[in-house]
Chains A and B, each alone.
Chain A
Amino acid sequence: MSDDHEFALRCPVPLPPGDTVLLGHGSGGKLTAQLIRDLFVPVLAGDGSELARLGDAAVVVVNGTRLAFTTDAFVVAPAFFPGSNIGELSVNGTVNDLAMMGATPLFLSAALILEEGLPLRDLGEVVASMAEACRRAGVTLVTGDTKVVERGSADGLFVTTSGVGVIPDGVEIGPERARPGDVVLVSGPVGSHGVAVMSRRAGIEFEAKLVSDTAPLTDLVRAMIAAGDVRCLRDATRGGVASVLNELAEASSVSITAVETDIPVLGPVRAACEMLGLDPLYVANEGVCVAIVAPEDAEAVLAAARANPHGEHAAIVGSVGEGPPRVLLRTGLGATRPLIMLAGDQLPRIC
């Protein structure tokens, strides 16, 4: 592409010289938020631009139709992990980002970056998983691109997907819509994906099988929206439920109080987190969303979620109060403490 003026930088990058990108910048925590706020948004987003809203997907209006549009890059290592692989993940991830806007996902693109030496059998398996995931989510993959890089320039394969969906009339979902009195739901047990990937990465085996929760949430979200006034939706990927709650509190200028013991966590996931010294509230999910719902509709939305296979463990986990924006956690002993956003990734502890 030669028309680089379209993406020409408009102001100097406002970070101290000599600083480098750290892994924590990709954690979904505070470092990621800083990078977006200080480097991307000032340069790429104008006043009132859709990018600056920082939703899971952008909402653009074309001939009166509201389209949700999003893109997501997948670099998970290892590419094959318990319960799934990078192919299914890359479809579900983009489908879910669209679903979080209340959109019906329609079309996907996929760009593959392959490392020289990648076994074709692995590639075949990833592509088959993508096809199956598209079929299950009811989306069509309509365009794509392939690049190959020298051995050592990538880790097996990276996948980037983009997606477009249509937001039905009457559906209004946005991170800024939570208000005091609302009820907070999670759609399923938290932490499963991150723990499954981490245990494979660390070569740690547990007696109970830990599998990723990757799943398309389109049907679940449609059922929840049909059951009542769902104000905010966000899939709790990087940074986990704790980060999502902080983002929503910030965007809506409200406080959120969650009850630690009401947040569902599968037994084996909890056990693995205890061993590794991780807090499941900060562990990534790929098939769990947080919903903020009008109080009078909370029970109906919960029942609708539980009737869906991806929402059978859905639970009410907290409530929304007046600002200032912050998240509080009521602990098992009845004390209350702020649930903050982490700076970077959680690190397994020493002992």
Chain B
Amino acid sequence: MRFVDEYRNERIARGLLEEISRTVTRPWTLMEVCGGQTHTLIRAGIDQLLPAEIELVHGPGCPVCVTPLALIDEAIAIAKRSDAILCSFGDMLRVPGSSEDLFMARAAGADVRIVYSPLDALEVARRNPDRTVVFFAVGFETTAPANAMAVKQAKELGIENFALLVAHVLVPPAIAAILVSPGNRVQGFLAPGHVCAVQGWTEYEPIAREFHVPLVVTGFEPVDLLEGILMAVRQLEEGRAEVENQYVRAVGRTGNLAAQAVVAEVFETCDRAWRGIGVIPKSGLRLREAYRDHDAELLFPREGGVPASESEICIAGTVLVGRAKPDACPAYGTLCTPETPLGAPMVSSEGACAAYFLAGRARREVSS
């Protein structure tokens, strides 16, 4: 398969590994931002093939993982209403809320439907005019354009019973938050290729300058990641801190302007809470005033009740900012597995804990 096979080629990968070994002279800590990158690294075993000087820590780029507990509870509450249908990407259904997940809610009678695009949810709304169809709008800059388009179409077509439960988050504010967090060890970033395919990389240039940190826009195949790591290590060894682009086959500096335009028309930035991390200023999107009729949080105001509470053992927050690896968690693989997840990173196909578990990694005994 073109554009896949050549990026999984063992010979090319070995060559890059050798080049990385020749280039590195001292320890460096790199963060791959996106959960898709984490999964490739762990599945292919790249972290074990790299020279010992290079440590990879896993970033917060898993939309399922960082969606706050309170919003998941809200989605479950909406799904349970007889006058509503909740549509979601499949990934979200197994994420634990305070007391249950969306799969359990569905088993108990809630109308929860898996869709593959927000436009499918819009179609559900068209076919069920007597119920409000809520799409759980989760994700980074990658999924925002399609969600914006769905709301825009709903407004244009007069489909009033379509709403978004918005949980959109943005990558650059999260990278900045990691860099200023106490105990940060990250010295260079593999920036998320798909996010940059939409946004370009101009937003990352001020971060590189201000924090003197290299950022390499990187793809998702093994060869992409090895090349991204090599480019970041070269910058670090040479004392440079620039934005470079490894993912040239998909990303240009200014990104997809048409997609950015529709997002800007429908959404505006807002402060947003990240699960396990806390509120990051200007790190999320919400619907603009003109589209508030389609905002599920306004249509179905949150009821009071038991406040959302997280598991006390789960270390998802420190995993998501790269301060701990999944296999260092006391619950990893024992209390917390994909069947019985305590935290979202064990659920999502992009979560770091699930990446470790699905690759069969054993828990590391941590000396105290």
The CA-CA distance from A37 to B348 in the complex, in Å, is 27
Which residues of A have CB within 8 Å of B143? Answer: 350-351
The CA-CA distance from A267 to B92 in the complex, in Å, is 29
Task: Flag whether A340 is at the interface (Cβ < 8 A).
Answer: yes
- The stretch of A15-23, A129-137, A284-292 that contacts the partner chain: A15-23
B13 to chain A: closest residue by CB: A333
Mark interface residues in A332-344 (1 if CB within 8 Å of B CB, else 0): 1111111110111
Partner of B107, one of A20, A334, A338: A20
A24 to chain B: closest residue by CB: B103
Task: Flag whether B4 is at the interface (Cβ < 8 A).
Answer: yes
Task: Flag whether B94 is at the interface (Cβ < 8 A).
Answer: yes
Docked complex: B275-331 residues within 8 A CB-CB of A: none
Task: Flag whether B49 is at the interface (Cβ < 8 A).
Answer: yes
Partner of B46, one of A31, A333, A336, A342: A333
Docked complex: A310-351 residues within 8 A CB-CB of B: 331-340, 342-344, 346-351
Docked complex: B142-175 residues within 8 A CB-CB of A: 142-143
The CA-CA distance from A186 to B348 in the complex, in Å, is 30
Task: Flag whether B28 is at the interface (Cβ < 8 A).
Answer: no
Total CB contacts across the A-B interface at under 8 A? 106
Mark interface residues in B12-31 (1 if CB within 8 Å of A CB, else 0): 01100000000000000000
Task: Flag whether B222 is at the interface (Cβ < 8 A).
Answer: yes
Distance between A26 CB and nearest chain B CB, rounded to angstroms: 12
A331 touches B43 (CB 8 A): yes
The CA-CA distance from A204 to B140 in the complex, in Å, is 23
Task: Flag whether B211 is at the interface (Cβ < 8 A).
Answer: no
Task: Flag whether A30 is at the interface (Cβ < 8 A).
Answer: yes
The CA-CA distance from A285 to B194 in the complex, in Å, is 31
Which residues of B have CB within 8 Å of A21? Answer: 107
B10 touches A351 (CB 8 A): no
Which residues of B have CB within 8 Å of A274? Answer: 1, 4
Which residues of B have CB within 8 Å of A23? Answer: 103, 106-107
A interface, size bucket: 35 or more
Docked complex: B28-54 residues within 8 A CB-CB of A: 36, 42-46, 48-49
Which residues of B have CB within 8 Å of A271? Answer: 1
Which residues of B have CB within 8 Å of A277? Answer: 349
Distance between B38 CB and nearest chain A CB, rounded to angstroms: 13
The CA-CA distance from A344 to B203 in the complex, in Å, is 39
A22 touches B116 (CB 8 A): no
Distance between B177 CB and nearest chain A CB, rounded to angstroms: 21
Distance between A155 CB and nearest chain B CB, rounded to angstroms: 14
A349 to chain B: closest residue by CB: B349
B120 touches A351 (CB 8 A): no
B349 touches A347 (CB 8 A): yes
Task: Flag whether A270 is at the interface (Cβ < 8 A).
Answer: yes
B89 touches A332 (CB 8 A): no
A271 to chain B: closest residue by CB: B1
Given contacts A333-B222, A348-B90, contact A343 B139 (CB under 8 A): no
Closest 6 CB pairs of A and B: A338-B360, A335-B45, A347-B90, A343-B339, A351-B142, A349-B349
Residues of B within 8 A of A (CB): 1, 4, 8-10, 13-14, 36, 42-46, 48-49, 63-64, 89-94, 103-104, 106-108, 114, 116, 120, 138-140, 142-143, 194, 222, 337-339, 348-350, 357-360
